Amino acid sequence: MDGKFDDALTGEQKIRNFNINFGPQHPAAHGVLRLVLELDGEIVERCDPHIGLLHRGTEKLMESRTYLQNLPYFDRLDYVAPMNQEHAWCLAIEKLTGVEIPRRASLIRVLYSEIGRILNHILNITTQALDVGALTPPLWGFEEREKLMVFYERACGARLHAAYFRPGGVHQDLPPDLIDDIDTWADEFPRVIADIDGLLT
């Protein structure tokens, strides 16, 4: 016996800090923000941010371009819901310059920002379900995402890099019947939510 009693320490005394990854939420999401956290219980002791390549240098590229030329960069900041980033850019410009936009353009922007929010939530929920072994929710969810991407395409001709919002409004008005088709989709979508919820809860 050397007189040391390390083996007499309780479990609480042996606890040490541990590191966890916070994001990206899905392993296929390269280029986005990832945080490596050192935790002491529930307290974050240290945070090591890894800024993804998607977000590096955008500001520098924008320094030598006009407001309108910069708009497409915002589509690339979020491939899941690109129009939401365009919306933020346009609102900032309009606030700085004091520009008032037409009511219809404002409503179109809000509509497509909400569609983008739904696109984001569907991807998040269904891919997390996939990560825990549920294959059906992503299939159902991506079918709904496809319908929403068609609404994107009908409004601006593009699915990912829309460049549809403009400082002062939107590029063009919505085509005939698109609002009715979105309304029909919105009436049917709660059934899909209920089905996915039933599988996951």
Q: What is the C-alpha separation between 68 and 172, in angstroms, rounded?
A: 15
Kindly report the pTM of this predicted structure: 0.74
- CB burial string 180-195: b at 16+ within 10 A, e below: eebeebeeeeeebbee
If you ran DSSP here, which 8-state letter would residue 76 be given?
T
- For the chain, the structural domain boundaries read 13-53, 66-200
Q: What is the C-alpha separation between 52 and 97, in angstroms, rounded?
A: 31
Cβ neighbours of 59 (radius 10 Å): 10
Which pLDDT score is estimated for 165?
Answer: 96
96 closest CA partner among 168, 163, 171: 168
Chunked mean pLDDT (size 10), the chain, 201 residues: 57 73 66 83 89 72 92 87 93 96 97 96 90 90 96 92 94 95 97 93 86
Which pLDDT score is estimated for 31?
Answer: 62
